[in-house]
Amino acid sequence: MLLEILQVTAIHVHLYCEDVLLLAEGSRLLSASLGGSFPFVELPIPGVESPVAVAYNPDDEHLYWTDPRAGTISRYDFSSRESTVLVTNLDTPDGLAIDWVSSNMYWSDAGQRLIEVSKLDGSDRKALITTGLQEPRAIVVQPSIGLMFWTDWGKQASIERAAMDGTDRRVIVSTDLVWPNGLAIDLANSRIYWTDAYLNKIEEANLDGHERRIVYGNRYVWHPFDIVLDGTNLYWSDWWKKTISKGSTSGIDQPTTFGGGGMQKPMGIGIRRAGQQTGW
């Protein structure tokens, strides 16, 4: 019992003192130090079944995740160390994003072909995008510019954007795209990054979908799932390699394995920064 308490305490100290990468994998939620001082360790969070997307909100110190098997969205309070189910009766909630300005959360549901929003406690739930979706997956929001972006890997694969109330919807990428999975925004440089799990590559473009460029091709990317941005570093989960890879936004550096191995199917990833507001 004492050893377990010490292990839990060590994990929480690590979370509060260092910037960490968060990961959903199998029936676990894990974290690893972005500085490399701590490999992936399982977070002692109860009630986790089959997490896919993860998101952290520094304002309330909660970790949020979707669980398609349970059909739920839940959160974990790092202060009280308690888990709460927030949203139920979902079909395939794959993507999740936190609006830390308005205290809302957005998610995609591929089974119901919807994009929805609610308050962070799951109240005031509303469907924003209800038509023209096939297999919506990743979703990201940027409150500072009032936009949300999402991927759809249905028969007509696309990356779309809209105002955060669902209006002014437009397709920004629709060619040379098959299974767009992960999505990340570099707001400082007005760029968007995405992974394609069929074409095995990571690409970028501006926020209108123009100035498109391959960052990493299938020499280094084999079946990418999610992706996050940390400065000029990119991190992505890869089902084929069963690892998290780390590369650069320039695409010049050869990617390296991050956080150790021992994974089966690494899913959603996110970043928790120690003591500061995040924007992912």
| CATH number for 184 | 2.120.10.30
DSSP element (H, E) containing 2: helix 2-17
Q: What is the pLDDT at residue 47?
A: 80
pLDDT of residue 141: 97
In sequence order, what are the beta bridge partners of 194?
Answer: 183, 203
DSSP state of 280: -
Instruction: Spell out, as residue ranges, where the chain has pLDDT lower than 50.
Output: 1-10, 13, 276-280
Question: Is 179 within the bounds of a domain?
Answer: yes
- For the stretch 216-260, pLDDT in tens is 999 999 999 999 999 999 999 999 999 999 999 999 999 999 987
The reply to whether 199 falls in a domain is yes
Q: Which pLDDT value is given to residue 14?
A: 53
Q: How many domains does the chain have?
A: 1
Q: What is the pLDDT of residue 58?
A: 84
Q: Does residue 278 form part of some domain?
A: no
Residue 277 falls inside a structural domain: no
Angle, vertex CA 10, rays to CA 7 and CA 12, nearest 5: 110
Interacting residues of 269 by C-beta distance below 8 A, sequence separation 6+: 21, 22, 23, 24, 54, 226, 227, 228, 235, 236, 237, 244
Please check whether residue 168 lies inside any domain of the structure: yes
Token couple for 14 = 């690590």
Q: How much is the pTM?
A: 0.91
Query: For residues 144 and 125, is the Cβ–Cβ distance under 8 A?
Result: no
Percentage of the chain modeled with pLDDT above 90: 82
In the chain the first and final C-alpha atoms are separated, in Å, by 36
Which pLDDT value is given to residue 273?
A: 86
How long a stretch of residues is the chain? 280
Point out which residues pair with 73 in neighbouring strands: 66, 87
User: Is 280 within a domain?
Assistant: no
Range of the domain at 229: 2-272
Check if the beta carbon of residue 245 is closer than 8 Å to that of residue 258. yes
Give a yes or no: residue 162 inside a domain: yes
Query: In angstroms, what CA-CA distances link 30 with 23, 65, 228?
Result: 5, 12, 15
Distance of alpha carbon 138 from the chain centroid? 7
